[in-house]
A and B are shown apart, each in its own frame.
Chain A
Amino acid sequence: MRFYENRQLVTPGDLLAEGDYVAGKNTYRIDNRIYASRLGLVEYGDREVRVVALNAFYVPSVGDLVIGKITEVNVNGWIVDINSPYSAILKASDVFERGFKPQKDDLTEIFNIGDLILAKITSYDRTRNPQLTIREPGLGKITKGQIVKITPTKIPRVIGRKGSMINTLKRETGCRITIGQNGLILIHGKNPDDERLAIMAIHKIELEAHTSGLTDRVTEMIRREKGVRDEEGS
């Protein structure tokens, strides 16, 4: 038995379903009853019941692309803040091509405190902090562009179904957009105005993530803003 409609807003403790169901994300089970554990929208699958949270923090997961900030430089690596309850470790041996000698190599020459990096999570199991790698094309220090921070649960909304939203954003603003799964998004455009437009659009997506017909409204907003700008320019 279902107690709500699909995509209805629920709060922690709401009884979502009773009977032969599987507890999905942000839900839990007592006997055969499924309850919500976060504020969000319910989604009923064939057997699975889940809640798409409206606000949550980032929990690391192996293979995720993340944007992080260097907070500490140690003898053999860096500590990176990845906007999560756990800070990540980037080992020096991952960064230096050949053998790495702590006596000879200066880590601050590569990354110093405050530097932003794009990295991938290679291991994480909750008993130890996540580990990062930058040994893949495109990863490493971020030198240009702007960063926007949003709730990590809304990242799928920014990407959209099969990338529809992110492709719209890229096409309409002409910016290069790199999404970190931890809620940080890197935007690099030809000029600051394009970047500002993309940031505005992302904030709109975050604010209205739980409504329908969002892609169209975002497209419309970008075109309207661009029109205003072109008029002012001429």
Chain B
Amino acid sequence: MKKVPERLIDENMLRVDGRRWNELRPIKLEVGILSNADGSAYIEQGRSKILAAVYGPRELHPRHLALPDRAMLRCRYHMAPFSVEERKSPAPSRREIELSKVIREALEPTIFLELYPRTAIDLYIEILQADGGTRCAGITVASLALADAGIPMRDLVVACAAGKVDGQIVLDLNDVEDKLGEADVPLAMMPSLGAITLLQMDGMLTVEEFEQAINLAMEGCRQIYKLQKEALKAKYTAIKEEVETQ
């Protein structure tokens, strides 16, 4: 069992993993890593590791579910049995089913679903290692995988959480902070359009604290957005440089 820390923020104002209140965990993003998927992406955010794959748009089976005026986005958020300390049953839990729905609804506004009626876009988000903030990181990778699949989108969707830990508003909570802290506010947005597509809260905050948390989470989103764009372009700029310096 993990040792439970006595305090989540020490006398130097550092958090359990040594971050300051407004710091994100280190993020690593990779795009196009699965050859059999139409689009794929991988994220490491601190100790959370997530893989996303997109298939489609493709014909929807069973046929009678097809929507006559738009494509259907189907999303599966799934935690691997080995992703948490105590083995998790591979069957989808209540929480995973809910998160699948929430993530789908966070991504639907960005996709031009009406362009491809009667088809399905299948999105699989696999949590390989969970250390808090997996719904946010899941949304962040999923939108990269969608862009990699060449699906027309209004903007990339980025997600990031803010919360309250030991009386202090902090950015990007990890597992311990999420479980022992006072509140957690996950937020997903389309930064170029300034639109929020997901906003949840767990715990208690005053109105002022809530506003502070939202602003902090949006700031975190903008930082991740830059990394997302770089990750998408990385493959192509590498080829271009290699070819043109020859």
Q: Which residues of A contact B (CB under 8 A)?
A: 9, 11-15, 26, 28, 30, 35, 37-39, 53-57, 59, 85-87, 126-127, 151, 153, 207-208, 210-212, 217
Q: Is B155 a contact of A12 with CB atoms below 8 Å?
A: yes
Q: Is A208 a contact of B154 with CB atoms below 8 Å?
A: no
Q: Determine how close the nearest CB of chain A comes to the CB of B204; give it in whole angstroms.
A: 34
Q: Which one of B22-30, B52-60, B128-136, B211-219 is at the interface?
A: B52-60
Contact of B150 among A15, A56, A217 (CB under 8 A): A56
Contacts A35-B155, A208-B239; is A153 near B150 (CB within 8 Å)? yes
Residues of B contacting A87 with CB < 8 Å? 59
B153 on the A face (CB < 8 A): yes
Given A28-B112, A211-B240, 19 further pairs, Cβ under 8 A: A11-B229, A11-B232, A12-B152, A12-B156, A35-B154, A35-B192, A37-B153, A38-B150, A39-B147, A54-B150, A55-B39, A55-B149, A57-B57, A57-B149, A57-B150, A85-B116, A126-B117, A208-B240, A212-B244
Interface residues on B, range: 35 or more
Q: Is A9 a contact of B233 with CB atoms below 8 Å?
A: yes
> How far, in angstroms, from A194 to B66 measured CA to CA in the complex?
45
Q: Is the interface of A mostly helix, strand, loop or mixed?
A: loop
Contacts A57-B57, A85-B119; is A37 near B152 (CB within 8 Å)? yes
Q: Is A210 a contact of B236 with CB atoms below 8 Å?
A: yes
Residues of A contacting B232 with CB < 8 Å? 11, 39
Q: Mark B91-129, 1 if CB is under 8 A from A, else 0.
A: 000000000000000000010100011110000000000
Task: List residues 197-223 of chain B with CB under 8 A from any CB of chain A.
Answer: none
Contact of B58 among A35, A55, A56, A85 (CB under 8 A): A85
B46 on the A face (CB < 8 A): no
Residues of A contacting B233 with CB < 8 Å? 9, 11, 39
Q: Determine how close the nearest CB of chain A comes to the CB of B114; give it in whole angstroms.
A: 10
Q: Is the interface of B mostly helix, strand, loop or mixed?
A: mixed
Q: Is A211 a contact of B243 with CB atoms below 8 Å?
A: yes
B191 on the A face (CB < 8 A): yes
Q: Is A217 a contact of B243 with CB atoms below 8 Å?
A: yes
> How far, in angstroms, from A65 to B38 measured CA to CA in the complex?
23
Q: Is B155 a contact of A85 with CB atoms below 8 Å?
A: no
Q: Is B243 a contact of A13 with CB atoms below 8 Å?
A: no
> How far, in angstroms, from A35 to B58 measured CA to CA in the complex?
26
Q: Determine how close the nearest CB of chain A comes to the CB of B236; give it in whole angstroms.
A: 6
- The 5 lowest CB-CB distance pairs between A and B, nearest first, are A13-B155, A56-B150, A13-B192, A55-B150, A85-B57
16 CB < 8 A contacts A-B = A9-B233, A9-B236, A11-B229, A13-B156, A13-B192, A14-B192, A35-B193, A38-B147, A39-B233, A55-B149, A56-B150, A57-B38, A59-B116, A85-B116, A127-B68, A210-B236
Q: Determine how close the nearest CB of chain A comes to the CB of B79; give it in whole angstroms.
A: 28
Residues of B contacting A151 with CB < 8 Å? 150
Q: Is A211 a contact of B244 with CB atoms below 8 Å?
A: yes
B9 on the A face (CB < 8 A): no
> How far, in angstroms, from A35 to B152 measured CA to CA in the complex?
11
Q: Determine how close the nearest CB of chain A comes to the CB of B151; give it in whole angstroms.
A: 8
Q: Mark B69-109, 1 if CB is under 8 A from A, else 0.
A: 00000000000000000000000000000000000000000
Residues of A contacting B119 with CB < 8 Å? 85-86
Q: Determine how close the nearest CB of chain B comes to the CB of A198; give it in whole angstroms.
A: 20
Q: Is B147 a contact of A11 with CB atoms below 8 Å?
A: yes
> How far, in angstroms, from A144 to B229 measured CA to CA in the complex?
43
Residues of A contacting B240 with CB < 8 Å? 208, 210-211
Q: Determine how close the nearest CB of chain A comes to the CB of B78; give it in whole angstroms.
A: 25
> How far, in angstroms, from A164 to B205 measured CA to CA in the complex?
65
Contact of A38 among B68, B152, B191, B237 (CB under 8 A): B152
> How far, in angstroms, from A4 to B59 measured CA to CA in the complex?
37
Q: Determine how close the nearest CB of chain B comes to the CB of A127; give it in whole angstroms.
A: 7
Q: Determine how close the nearest CB of chain B comes to the CB of A33; give it in whole angstroms.
A: 10
Residues of B contacting A153 with CB < 8 Å? 150
Q: Determine how close the nearest CB of chain B comes to the CB of A23; give it in whole angstroms.
A: 12
Residues of A contacting B156 with CB < 8 Å? 11-13
Closest chain A residue, CB of each to CB of B149: A55
Q: Is A12 a contact of B147 with CB atoms below 8 Å?
A: yes
Q: Determine how close the nearest CB of chain B comes to the CB of A213; give it in whole angstroms.
A: 8
Contacts A37-B112, A55-B149, A126-B117; is A9 near B59 (CB within 8 Å)? no
> How far, in angstroms, from A27 to B147 measured CA to CA in the complex?
14
